[in-house]
């Protein structure tokens, strides 16, 4: 049995984004036998460009179930079936990550209709779903919606099954079974003792030095993943021991991983060692008295309002804030219209770009937005899932950086915030933690966030 899956998401990377719609079409090898689809509430802001692409709005998602509410039903539907999708790794990584957040390990056999089509239907100019379906006479009813794309992919898969006269599909399935071989210095007993819980893990060399730091929702599963298929030979032979630190919280695991990498500079954590360009949000006052916003590289004479890892991250952030506060895209460097901005006619801009709104009224909204995002002047306490049912993680940020964390009993009710802070373990500030804090705050999980001072 095959489960043909398509999803729509809040963005392109499973680590930082969530599913907003999923559709599953069940194929028994002869034809379609069942269907499933639902919107999914990601409990976070939906970027405007996603709405533009899919037609799914935040309002449509308000009454939709969270993934946690459909996880068991969906898992039962998918279990025991081959997971099929167009560009399968994208859909599978999101689904696997969503299940992992619910404590469910999902590791099906995979088939990619892009790869299969290249082998069974060679010679097409493009193997995108739209082009393939057009070439094969398949009509997509609802492009960039989960069921529309999933159903079309199922019809395409049916054609692939019928045209596969040399066993491409069975061979592909057989090739997906990757054998896991433990590093030569890690015993099966040590591997068996690894926890299937969230935290940070460390690979040690023969002298006990840390050579790699990673984070995982399931440490044991992630360890296994390092050595499935084509593992890095040097890393595999150098590992003599593995240790770990449970965090309970995925967010805290990300923070601890970052701190440990900066502390030990492991030889195999190359990504964080590379010096990258930082981007910032900048402001200035123009001749008309309007506060202007813009994105630029950080590190110059002017101090940015806030910083970002990439230009894309900064750009998407500015787009969202302009929309939320009804600012003018032209005054924020997003549009370069000669007269009024393009959003003026649609009601998104109140006319600052053509003199219909005074600088005082416009700047009031700009300052409100700037005040909301200036968390570097605040002391922020975040409570997250703990390592056990009776505890919770407490994470403290000062001046935008992680300053302390620890675990407290859920029954502990301090009369003053200072009593709780005294129980936390201070840490050396690491600049990267500010980016993770911003991403966390943008999710709008206000029930977990406490502003202690400003």
**Tens digits of per-residue pLDDT, 339-353?**
888 888 888 899 999
CATH number assigned to the domain comprising residue 207 = 3.40.1440.10
Based on the domain organization, do 27 and 133 belong to the same domain?
yes
Q: Is residue 180 part of a domain?
A: no
Nearest 10 degrees: CA dihedral of 175, 177, 72, 244?
A: -130
Structure tokens at 272: 């964080």
**Tens digits of per-residue pLDDT, 48-81?**
878 887 888 888 888 889 999 999 899 999 988 9
Whether 229 has a pLDDT exceeding 60, the answer reads no
Q: Is residue 69 part of a domain?
A: yes
Distance CA(257)–CA(261), nearest Å, equals 6
Instruction: State the average pLDDT over residues 129-146.
Output: 86
Q: Which residue has the tokens 């101090």?
A: 303
Instruction: State the average pLDDT over residues 198-213.
Output: 94
Q: Is residue 182 part of a domain?
A: no
Instruction: State the average pLDDT over residues 387-416.
Output: 88
Whether 204 has a pLDDT exceeding 90, the answer reads yes
Residue that finishes a domain, picked among 241, 257, 273: 273
Instruction: State the average pLDDT over residues 432-441.
Output: 80
Based on the domain organization, do 162 and 44 belong to the same domain?
yes
Based on the domain organization, do 419 and 340 belong to the same domain?
no
Burial of 277 (0-12, 13-18, 19+ CB in 10 A): exposed
Based on the domain organization, do 252 and 299 belong to the same domain?
no
Average pLDDT along the chain: 86
pLDDT of residue 358: 95
Based on the domain organization, do 52 and 153 belong to the same domain?
yes
**Domain count for the chain:** 4
Based on the domain organization, do 137 and 221 belong to the same domain?
no
Q: What is the DSSP letter of 396?
A: E
Contact indicator for 218, 278 with CB cutoff of 8 Å = no
Residue that finishes a domain, picked among 231, 257, 273: 273
Q: Is residue 362 part of a domain?
A: yes
pLDDT of residue 259: 93
Whether 247 has a pLDDT exceeding 90, the answer reads yes
- Give the Cβ contact number of residue 246 at 10 Å: 18
Confidence bin at 376 (pLDDT 50/70/90)? low
Residue that finishes a domain, picked among 328, 352, 373: 373
pLDDT of residue 19: 93
Which residue range forms the structural domain that includes residue 122?
A: 2-175
Confidence bin at 225 (pLDDT 50/70/90)? confident
Measured between alpha carbons, how far is residue 277 from residues 65, 401, 431 in Å?
39, 19, 13
Confidence bin at 450 (pLDDT 50/70/90)? confident
Instruction: State the average pLDDT over residues 365-372.
Output: 86
| Confidence (pTM) | 0.50
Structure tokens at 67: 């993934």
Whether 84 has a pLDDT exceeding 90, the answer reads yes
Confidence bin at 312 (pLDDT 50/70/90)? confident
Based on the domain organization, do 357 and 436 belong to the same domain?
no
Buried/exposed code over 309-325 (b: 16+ C-beta within 10 A; e: otherwise): beeebbebbbbbbbeeb
Based on the domain organization, do 121 and 28 belong to the same domain?
yes
Whether 273 has a pLDDT exceeding 50, the answer reads no
Based on the domain organization, do 149 and 216 belong to the same domain?
no
Based on the domain organization, do 198 and 318 belong to the same domain?
no
Q: Is residue 95 part of a domain?
A: yes
pLDDT of residue 300: 65
pLDDT of residue 274: 46
Based on the domain organization, do 163 and 195 belong to the same domain?
no
Instruction: State the average pLDDT over residues 168-172.
Output: 90
Whether 392 has a pLDDT exceeding 80, the answer reads yes
Based on the domain organization, do 334 and 212 belong to the same domain?
no
CATH number assigned to the domain comprising residue 152 = 3.30.420.10
């Amino acid at each position: 049995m095959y489960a043909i899956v398509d999803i729509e998401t809040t963005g392109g990377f499973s680590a930082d984004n969530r599913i907003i719609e999923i559709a599953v079409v069940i194929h028994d090898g002869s034809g379609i036998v069942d269907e499933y689809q639902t919107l999914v509430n990601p409990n976070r802001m939906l970027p405007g460009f996603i709405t533009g692409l899919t037609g799914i709005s935040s309002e449509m998602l308000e009454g939709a179930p969270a993934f946690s509410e459909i996880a068991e039903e969906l898992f039962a539907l998918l279990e025991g079936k081959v997971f099929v999708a167009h560009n399968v790794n994208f859909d599978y990584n999101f689904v696997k990550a969503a299940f992992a957040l619910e404590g469910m390990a999902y590791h099906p056999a995979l088939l990619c209709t892009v790869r299969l089509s290249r082998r069974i239907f060679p010679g097409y100019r493009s193997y995108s779903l739209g082009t393939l379906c057009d070439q094969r006479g398949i009509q997509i009813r609802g492009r960039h919606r989960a069921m529309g794309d999933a159903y079309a992919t199922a019809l395409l898969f049916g054609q692939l099954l019928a045209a596969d006269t040399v066993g491409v599909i069975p061979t592909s399935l057989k090739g997906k079974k990757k054998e896991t071989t433990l590093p030569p210095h890690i015993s099966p007993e040590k591997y068996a003792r690894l926890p299937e819980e969230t935290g940070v893990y460390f690979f040690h060399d023969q002298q006990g030095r840390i050579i790699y730091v990673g984070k995982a929702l399931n440490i044991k599963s992630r360890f296994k993943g390092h050595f499935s298929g084509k593992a890095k030979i040097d890393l595999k032979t150098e590992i003599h021991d593995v240790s770990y630190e449970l965090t309970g919280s995925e967010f805290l695991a990300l923070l601890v991983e970052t701190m440990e990498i900066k502390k030990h500079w492991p030889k195999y954590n190359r990504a964080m060692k590379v010096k990258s360009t930082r981007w910032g949000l900048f402001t200035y006052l123009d001749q008309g008295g309007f506060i202007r916003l813009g994105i630029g590289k950080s590190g110059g004479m002017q101090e940015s309002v806030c910083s970002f890892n990439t230009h894309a991250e900064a750009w998407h952030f500015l787009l969202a804030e302009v929309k939320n506060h009804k600012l003018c895209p032209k005054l924020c460097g997003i549009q370069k219209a000669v007269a009024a901005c393009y959003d003026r006619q649609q009601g998104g801009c109140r006319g600052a770009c053509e003199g219909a709104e005074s600088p005082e009224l416009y700047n009031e909204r700009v300052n409100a937005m700037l005040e909301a995002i200036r968390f570097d002047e605040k002391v922020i306490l975040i409570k997250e899932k703990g390592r056990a049912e009776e505890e919770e993680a407490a994470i403290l940020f000062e001046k935008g950086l992680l300053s302390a964390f620890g675990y407290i009993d859920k029954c502990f009710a301090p009369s003053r915030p200072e009593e709780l802070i005294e129980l936390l373990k201070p840490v050396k500030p690491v600049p990267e933690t500010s980016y993770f804090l911003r991403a966390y705050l943008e999710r709008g999980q206000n029930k977990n966030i406490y502003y202690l001072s400003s």
